Structure formats: structure tokens, C-alpha cells
Structure 1
Amino acid sequence: MKEKLHPFHISVLVFMIQAGVVVFFLPRMLAQYMGYNGWVAIPLFSVVATFNIFLISIVYRLGDGRSIFQIMEQSLSKLIVYPVYTYLIVVWTLLGCIAAKQYIILFQVFVFPTTPIMYIKLLVDIIAFSLIIKGIYNISKAATVFFWMVIWTILMLTFFIKGFEWVNLTPFFFKESTNVVVGSISIFSSFLGYELVLLLFPYVDSKKGFMKAVYFGNFLTTIVYLSISFVCFGFYSFKQLTKMKFPLVDLLAYIRLPFVERVENIFLALYLVTSLMSITMYIWAATETAKSLIPRANKRWITAILVCCAFVVSWIPNMLSEVELWLKYLGYMALGIAFGLPLMLIAILVIHNGGKKIA
């Protein structure tokens, strides 16, 4: 009997994929795009993500826990299935490697300024490869360990209670917002990652609240994003936030401890594991898809090829601005997958089941 993922591990996986480098500049994005009290938009984006998760739960219920690859291959022609698989492989592989490159650039600038970026990227890719070939169960266990390394850091926000100024929040909501549509897509992209649970259907126990665990993981991400954004909006003025590149890094620099000189470097080092889990899960998802595309291929060789391709592609964008531009367009593609794939699967299942009710 195969081991099944525990709901807690699923919640942790969702959180670790979602929460990454974005926490360091999310308050600035909210100020730039959403305007005054932009932190209020976080629950709104969370509601949209929750609705998307609801669509995934419909797929899980209608498909009776079957793999999404089985659902598509049993109902669609290979002429349709293979291009879809190829698209998923390319987007997920690129999203994982470029998201990791973004964090590594930030990490290198603040922690190891003399170390070549690609050396650090190579180390991260090797660790990711080692995790992926061990399978999803070992990945989930590693994610749980990393989760406890990271989650306690949210308590450090209590250091800024004395410096928190309610007047900075102002009575205005979303005033001076700019490029709301483009900004909303960019901000919502920070919630993406939960869509990978579509590939976890064969690895979970339907009797143990699989989808509840996914909802809880997204809720936990929402709490962390909301806490960080709320404190930053109360500690800094609106104008300050719009001009800061990494508000959370600057915020952490205010902490002074007798035994640590630069606390922000410790936080950056700790959050490296969230970047590691992101690239691990995205390339694991790409590997699972490639295995369905080429059933006879060895899974380790598929993973090795994808990781090598990801490493080569990550050489192309050198500057942080270039990486952010890549992520912007990859975010659009990932958003299309997050909503489009569940909707397509629901349509297939409803037609295949002869109009069976969703509820």
C-alpha cells in the first residue's frame, strides 16, 4: 500500500510554494498599484485564490480522485493533449527557475556580494534535483522541516509595535492607485502555486480532508502577507513605501540584537528554503507531466534534463529588472493555467459523466 500525503503536509506544501521572495517587496507593489491602504487588497486577492481552489475541488470531486492526465487522455485526442502537456512543462520549468533566480539575485546582493550568482543557482538546482528524485512524499517532509525554520520569523514583526503609527494608514482606501489591472495580476501572481495540487490527486487520501488542507495553506499565506503588509504600511509613510525597493529588508534592518549585527541577512538566508521549495515543486510538476508525455522515459533522466535546461535558461536574464520582466509574463501564463486547466477539466468531466451535477 502506497503512502498517502497527510493534510498538514499538503498545507505546508501550498504555503511554501506560495510564500517566497515576494514577501520582501509585496508592500511596495501594494502601495504602487493599490494606493493608500493597499494592504486591504490582500484579503480580496485571497478570495479570488479561494475561488480558484474551489474549481480545483470540483475537478477532484467529479474525477473521483483520478489523475488529471488520466482524465485528459481518456477524453481528448493526442493532438490536443500533447501540446497542452508541452505548454505545462515549459511554463512550470521556466517559472520555477526564474523565480529562484530572482531570489538568488537578492540573496547574493545582501549576503554574498562577491559570490557569482550562477554558483549559488547551481547549488540550489543540485539540492532541488536531489529532492525531486526522492519523490513527492520526501519533498513534503523536507517542506515541513523548512516550514518550521521560516514560520516563526513572523513573530519578529512584534519588534515594530512601538514604531507603528496609525496615522500612516490614513482614512483613504486605494487613493492614488495606478495601473490597477496590471498591478492586480502581478500581485495575485504571488498567491499562485496552489494550482500544483492538481497533480497531487493520486497521492492523497480522499477521506482525510485533502481540499480543506489546500484552503488552509492558502489561508496561512494570506495571514503572513497581510501581517507583513499591514506592519509596513503602518511603520512607513505611503510615499516611503512607493520608493523602497525591498521594504521588508529595510524594516528588518531596524532590529538590533546584542548577538547579531545584521538580522535581515538571517531572514534572507532562511527564506532561501522557500525559493528552493518553489523550484522543486514546479520542476516536479513538469517532470510528472513529461512522464505522461513520454511514458517509457526514466523519471530521473527527465528531471535531470529539465533541471539542466532550467539552469541554462536562467543564464539569460542577468539583471533583477530583466528577471522581474520574465516573471511578469510567466505569471500571466501561470494565471491562465491556474484558472484555465481546472475549467477545461470540469468541462471534460461534465461531458464525460453525461451532465453529472457538480454539487
Structure 2
Amino acid sequence: MDSNIKENFQVGPPMVFFLVHAIQVGVGILGFQRVVVQRTGYDGWISVIIAGTVFSLALSMMYSILRAHNTDIIEIHRRLFGKWLGCILSFLMVLYFFALAVLVNRTYVEVVQVWMFEELPPWVLGMISFVFFYYLILGGFRAVVGLCVIGVVLPSAIVFILLLPLEYAQFLNLLPIWKHSLEEILLGAKDTALTFLGIEFILMFYPFIKNASDSQKWAQLGHWVTVFSYTLLMFVSLAFYSEEQLNRTIWATLTLLKVIELPFVERFEYIGVSLWLIIIAPNIALALWAASRGIKRMFPIRQRYALIFFLTAMVVIMPVFQSRQRIDQFNDYVSNVGFYFLTVYIPLLFIIQLIVSKRSKNNDQKG
């Protein structure tokens, strides 16, 4: 493990539960139903479970790779592919982490613009994000973990609130089960990729976990709680909306909140949008931390300066995505990159690791 990580900078294995669950639940939960239902209709919940299972297997492969080297992905790339190719692969991964931070931030700004402040320029929230995340990440990895804990615990009440629309539910919509072909179900599972992205950050923060090899059960628990949450929300949405309504509703989860009526709150969805800031903040913080940490590990640059660069770039890039079409295209691009990273690159890296380990073992036996 990276010897530079002192014990007072590390966190216990149970914290991995909050890290994994917090990074997976973000802006994707606001409207993933429409994307899945377009291919699978009322069988969408099956696609969610299949996607969760595939990503769980990818998580197990990542832990196998990390245990073999006991360090982060930057050093693993260097050991397996050499200095130059390893650096290129690591740099591409850093760009992917940064793209995730921009995607989450820009998507949330769009939600705020549509639902609350239509004329709010993207750079305003971008500047607020700059200051907040700069000081948070400078506090170190433990500060980011604290934000993840808050991002899981405080908004947890929303899960129960989202069950209230079941008063108008029609569960017969879900029958008969499996009306679509296996190909359509699998394509629907692929479309849920953005909602489950985030488990790959374990490749960067693994050295910051005490007894990291024992944390896999907590990572899997965090992931499966996410799968359960998305499946439950998909059930609620399929029972509440018609298939045609879901195809036309961009943010189905937020629209569910409009149904809720409380005597002291007229527009409950405003509270939902505000609370979602607590949910998406860990997404952005961990992505920026991983990107800046990756630059520090590859080049002789302090993490503070790398963080300033990424935060500045995020503020500059956000106004570029003005239209819904551009934001959707960016969502699709990042989602596809994340999907192939977890379902193609990680298994490939896992196989390469097995081959290298076997050769090393044979060499040791011959020696």
C-alpha cells in the first residue's frame, strides 16, 4: 500500500459503505426511469437488477486487482503497463473522473434552472461550487468521507416520502412480467449505467482504507443498497405513471414529489431540489478529489494546484452546455465511457493481473 498514507489520514472499512452508496446516488436518480422505460417498458425493474449484478461483479474484480498490488490504480497501471503507457491510461482515467464531476454539477444546475430559477446563469453556481469544494477537499480525504456520510444519512427520509404516491399506484401495470426480449432487457441494463457509476472510485481511495482488503463486504453492501433503492423507485414509478407518461417525463422522480401535499408546504418539489444538493455534493467532491489526487500521483504537482485547475476548468466548461440536447449528449457520452470502463476494461485488467500473477508465481517456483 502507498506508504505515504499515514494511519491518521485513513478511515475504517465501514466508511466504504457510505463512500460507495453516496457516489452512486446522484443526479441519475432524478430521471433514470425514462431512459430505461424507452427500451424495456414495464420490465424496466428487471434491467435495473441485471445492471446491479453486473456492476457487483465488476466491484469484486476491482478488489481482486487491488488486493494483489495493495496500492491505487495509478501505481497498478505503472506496474502492469510500464511508465509511459501506464501514465497515459491513468491520465485518461483522471479525465473521466473530471468529466463525471462536470456532468453531475451541470445536470444539477439544469434542474435548478428548470424547477426554481430559470434565469440563473450556470457560472453563478459554478463559482459557489469552486469555493465550497476547494476548501472541502483541502481538508483531506477524511473531510470528503464526512460529506459522504452526511449525503447518505440526512436525505434518507426522501426514500419514505417517495412512497407516498403509491396511494395512486396501479400495480397491475407490472403484469405480465418479461414482455420484452432478452436483448431489450440487456440494452435497458446498459442504459442504467450512469445511475450506478461511482464504484470505480475505489481504485483511487483504496490506500486510504484501514485494512482495505476487509472492506469489500461494506462496498458490496453499499452497492446493493443502491440497487435496492433504484429498484424500489422504479417499482413506484412504473406503478404510478403510464408507460407513455414515463417516456415523456424527463425528471420522473422530481415529478413524483409534486403529488405530495403537506399543510405547511405547497411545492414540496422545491424541498426535493434543495435536498438533492446534499446528495450530489459527495459525487462532485469525490470525483474532484480523485482527479486531483491522480494528477499528484502522476506528476510532481501538489494536489492543491491540480484541484484549482480542475475547479477553474469546471466553471469555464459549464456554460458550454446550454441546451438540453447538449447536456443529454454529454450524459450519454460519459455514461458509455463509464459502462465500457467497468464492463470491458476492468475484466481485461483482471485477466492481465491473473496472467502476471501466474507468471510471477511460476518464476518464483523456478527460482
TM-score by length of 2: 0.89
Aligned length: 355
Does residue 1:15 correspond to 2:21, yes or no? yes
Q: Which position in structure 1 is the counterpart of 2:66?
A: 60
Does residue 1:109 correspond to 2:114, yes or no? yes
Q: Which position in structure 2 is the counterpart of 1:163?
A: 168
Counterpart of 1:272 (choices 264, 277, 283) is 277
Query: Aligned partners of 2:351 and 2:131: how far apart in 1?
Result: 37
Query: Aligned partners of 1:232 and 1:292: how far apart in 2?
Result: 43
Larger deviation: 157-166 or 342-351?
342-351
Fraction of identical pairs, as percent = 21
Query: Aligned partners of 2:75 and 2:358: how far apart in 1?
Result: 14
Does residue 1:26 correspond to 2:10, yes or no? no
Larger deviation: 106-115 or 45-54?
106-115
Query: Aligned partners of 1:139 and 1:353: how far apart in 2?
Result: 37
Q: Which position in structure 2 is the counterpart of 1:215?
A: 220
Q: 1:76 Cα shift?
A: 3.1
User: RMSD between aligned alpha carbons?
Assistant: 2.3
Q: Which position in structure 2 is the counterpart of 1:97?
A: 102
Q: 1:82 Cα shift?
A: 2.0
Q: Is the 8 A contact 1:72 1:345 kept in 2?
A: no
Q: 1:323 Cα shift?
A: 1.0
Residues 99 and 355 (structure 1 numbering): CA distance in 2 closer, same or farther, change over 3 Å?
A: same
Residues 182 and 166 (structure 1 numbering): CA distance in 2 closer, same or farther, change over 3 Å?
A: closer
Aligned to 1:27, what secondary structure does the other structure show? Answer: helix
What CA deviation, in whole Å up to 9, does each residue of 1:16-36 have, x standing for no partner?
Answer: 111111112122222112122
Task: Write out aligned runs for 1:287-298 (5 A).
Answer: 287-294=292-299, 296-298=300-302
Counterpart of 1:310 (choices 281, 298, 314) is 314
Query: Aligned partners of 1:356 and 1:111: how far apart in 2?
Result: 60
Counterpart of 2:339 (choices 316, 335, 340) is 335
Residues 319 and 53 (structure 1 numbering): CA distance in 2 closer, same or farther, change over 3 Å?
A: same
Q: Which structure shows the higher helix fraction? A: 2
Aligned to 2:359, what secondary structure does the other structure show? Answer: coil
Residues 322 and 48 (structure 1 numbering): CA distance in 2 closer, same or farther, change over 3 Å?
A: same
User: Gaps (5+ residues) in structure 1?
Assistant: none
Query: Aligned partners of 2:61 and 2:275: how far apart in 1?
Result: 33
Q: Is the 8 A contact 1:35 1:177 kept in 2?
A: no
Structure 1 letter corresponding to 2:201: L
User: Gaps (5+ residues) in structure 2?
Assistant: 1-5, 363-367
Q: Is the 8 A contact 1:5 1:205 kept in 2?
A: yes
Counterpart of 2:76 (choices 67, 71, 91) is 71
TM-score by length of 1: 0.91
Task: Write out aligned runs for 1:39-188 (5 A).
Answer: 39-63=45-69, 65-175=70-180, 183-188=188-193
Aligned to 1:161, what secondary structure does the other structure show? Answer: helix
Residues 179 and 313 (structure 1 numbering): CA distance in 2 closer, same or farther, change over 3 Å?
A: farther
Residues 346 and 281 (structure 1 numbering): CA distance in 2 closer, same or farther, change over 3 Å?
A: farther
Task: Write out aligned runs for 1:227-246 (5 A).
Answer: 227-246=232-251
Q: Is the 8 A contact 1:100 1:279 kept in 2?
A: yes
Q: Is the 8 A contact 2:98 2:288 kept in 1?
A: yes
